[in-house]
Amino acid sequence: METHQYFYRCAAFTRKNNTIALADIYQPEHTSELEEWFGVVISLADGQHTLQELMDYMAKQYTQAPSNLEETLNSVIERLVEGKLIKLSSTKVQLPYYLANPIEQLDIEKAKQLMEKDGYTLH
């Protein structure tokens, strides 16, 4: 995997009680909880950091990083890309308002209007 690429989310999310879930801005009460690794990557996928920065950040979360950390992250990233929940870019990406923060930090009406204006559709 080319670790110089930037990664960014393509789905709205929520962060409640240390749990990250996919969220539907039109039905905020309906969420799909993510496995911890997937949730961490989605929440950090802001388009401003490279995959290498993600790997460095995750390694610092441990006193001694697991030997399979890079392999695990590569697998998680590949699965999120395949699921169209994140994308990779050779340049930084500015996320639209409705994807930039967890939905509980958004003005939902503003988010809906901007999604419609952008033609953003849920997967």
Domain ranges of the chain: 6-118
The predicted structure's pLDDT at residue 49:
97
The predicted structure's pLDDT at residue 90:
97
The predicted structure's pLDDT at residue 8:
98
Q: Please count the other Cβ atoms lying within 10 Å of the Cβ belonging to residue 108.
A: 13
Q: Which residues of 60-82 are buried (b: 16+ CB within 10 A; e: fewer)?
A: eeeeeeeeeebeebeebbeebee
pLDDT tens for the 123 residues of the chain, in order: 799 999 999 999 999 888 999 999 999 888 999 999 999 999 999 999 999 999 999 999 988 888 999 999 999 999 999 999 999 999 999 999 999 999 999 999 999 999 999 998 764
Quote the pTM value.
0.90
Q: Which helix (H) or strand (E) holds 69?
A: helix 69-82
The predicted structure's pLDDT at residue 98:
96
